[in-house]
Amino acid sequence: MEKIINKIEEIALKIDNLIKTGESGYSETSNQTGDIQLKLDIQSDEIIEEEFKDVDSIKAIISEEKEDILNLNEDGEYVVCYDPLDGSSIVDYNLSVGSIFGIYKGGLNGENIVASIYIVYGPRVEMVKTIKGSKPIHYRLVGDKFVEQGEITMEQKGKLNAPGSTQKNWYPYHKELIESLFQEGYRLRYSGGMVPDLHQILLKGGGLFSYPGTTDKPKGKLRDLFEVIPFALAYIEAGAEAIDDKGISLLELETEHPHDTSPCFFGSKYEIAKVREAYNGK
């Protein structure tokens, strides 16, 4: 596992450099989800594949940008699922973006994630590493080294509300939930990049990030293996919660296809109790 983590740190430096120096704009291809790929999406994916190729402990990789699983080493212990560049729709407008990695041992389900790492490429480059069973650890890039900043612990309640997806397609009970938080004084914080949005809530110690099922997309948009489950591990180990629209922990998600998506809610205990109340029986 340590080798994989070291590789991810090297990858982060390369992708950061790519974002700063690479070409903007779209390629001519789409990914499995149907999104038109940016040149940066494809190049970030190539960087990661290249770096992971010589890590013996990686059995296979699954990328948001690849249709199928790519087998690397038959005797490898881990499958690494990743979103090379999260925030394709905002990177060319110079908002913060990220990379997300979920490291799985055994089947590709929530309960088999053993570690997750995400990187935020913002005014600073930061990394959060969560090993199952321990608190997430926050790092900041200083020169070419990630320097530890401390453990992350969430409070019982926060002040931020980050509601994703298209409001016109929200179910009435979801609309009521989001509105009730604003009525309580919560402030809107939504950039369109789940990495900086979830990172802000984690570091400020509380709040709610939601990406619900909607009338046009009942299973939501965010992908289980490389977006939802890795962040669920970070939130749950930080003492917060991460659930789906049935109130089930996102670490209990069972996936059938690498690109499956799920409605998801990440937040401190108070806000998640409100989600459960709003969604009860729906």
115 binds, among Mn ion, ligand AHG, none (CB under 5 to 8 A by kind): none
35 binds, among ligand AHG, Mn ion, none (CB under 5 to 8 A by kind): ligand AHG
Residues 79-98 interacting with ligand AHG (rule: CB under 6 A) = 83, 86-89
Report in angstroms how near the CB of residue 75 gets to ligand AHG at its nearest.
31
Helices of type H across 57-190 = 172-183
Task: Say how far apart CA 276 and CA 241 lie, in whole Å.
Answer: 11
Report in angstroms how near the CB of residue 276 gets to ligand AHG at its nearest.
22
Q: Binding residue for Mn ion (CB under 5 A) from 86, 197, 241, 271? A: 86
- 122 near ligand AHG (CB under 6 A): no
- 102 near ligand AHG (CB under 6 A): no
Report in angstroms how near the CB of residue 159 gets to ligand AHG at its nearest.
19
- Residue 164 CA to its chain's centroid (Å): 13
**What residue ranges in 31-91 does DSSP mark as E strands?**
36-38, 58-63, 70-71, 78-86
Q: Binding residue for Mn ion (CB under 5 A) from 83, 241, 244, 245? A: 83
Residues 3-62 interacting with ligand AHG (rule: CB under 6 A) = 35
116: number of Cβ within 10 Å: 25
Backbone angles phi, psi at 89, to 5 degrees: -80, -10
- 192 near ligand AHG (CB under 6 A): yes
Task: Say how far apart CA 254 and CA 267 lie, in whole Å.
Answer: 21
Report in angstroms how near the CB of residue 33 gets to Mn ion at its nearest.
9
CA angle centred on 87, ends 195 and 80, rounded to 5°: 65
Backbone angles phi, psi at 105, to 5 degrees: -130, 120
Token couple for 223: 């992908």
Report in angstroms how near the CB of residue 265 gets to ligand AHG at its nearest.
13
**Residue 194 or 225 having the CB closest to ligand AHG:** 194
Handedness of CA 54, 57, 59, 63 (dihedral sign): negative
Task: Say how far apart CA 124 and CA 36 lie, in whole Å.
Answer: 28
Of 64-72, 174-182, 239-247, 255-263, which segment contacts Mn ion by CB under 5 A?
64-72
**Residue 192 or 247 having the CB closest to Mn ion:** 192
Q: First and final CA of the chain: distance in angstroms?
A: 40
Residues binding ligand AHG (CB under 6 A): 35, 64, 83, 86-89, 164-165, 192-194, 221
Q: Write out the residues near Mn ion by the rule CB under 5 A.
A: 64, 83, 85-86
